[in-house]
Amino acid sequence: MSNYNYEVLEYYPIRCEDDLAGESNRALLKWWLSFTPGIPQKADFDIIDHITLAPDIFLVERKSNTAFEFKLHGETANSIFDDSTGKIIRTDGPQDTEQEQEEVRLANYYKQLSEDPVCMKNIGNLHLIDKQYKKFESIDCPLVDQAGNVTHIIGTITALE
């Protein structure tokens, strides 16, 4: 088994909070959709206004068109993603191990999300020892700068019973 603790089974654009099981996911999507038809900027999100999301939240910064840095993981997100804050993944990164292959896949997914900024729902399996859940649901929501370029991706992840 590889070092990463999850596998994504499917992902697709989402525009309705009723289609989400996780409370944190629904709350983040509701906030993100409140900017429709626009897309929120990173400065629009204040964790103080969303303190209940803190354990499930994660933040990725777009460093270039091909590189992305894990900036923040709440406690729940950290237990799933491991402590990878500060790590940079690249679309052209090495692919010698399963973990490296997953990082390249994820970087390409983030690149796609940066080019077509929509909120995405992910469903997958967790590989955690001694946990009562085996599935997860997460969302990835792009954040833009004043020129409309994606600078960050904010998301939440919820383990499903």
- pLDDT at residue 129 tops 70: no
State both tokens at 150.
Answer: 């994606």
Average pLDDT score, the chain:
89
- pLDDT category of residue 9 using cuts at 50, 70 and 90: confident
What's the average model confidence in pLDDT over 152-156? Answer: 97
- pLDDT category of residue 139 using cuts at 50, 70 and 90: very high
The better pLDDT of the pair 56, 127 is held by 56
- pLDDT at residue 151 tops 90: yes
Say if residue 22 is exposed, middle or buried (CB neighbours under 10 Å; 0-12, 13-18, 19+). buried
- pLDDT category of residue 84 using cuts at 50, 70 and 90: confident
* Residue 8: predicted pLDDT: 79
What's the average model confidence in pLDDT over 148-161? Answer: 92
> What are the tens digits of pLDDT across the range 27-55?
999 999 999 999 999 999 999 999 999 99
CA distance 20 to 140: 13
CA distance 66 to 78: 23
* Residue 1: predicted pLDDT: 31
- pLDDT at residue 4 tops 50: no
- pLDDT category of residue 128 using cuts at 50, 70 and 90: low
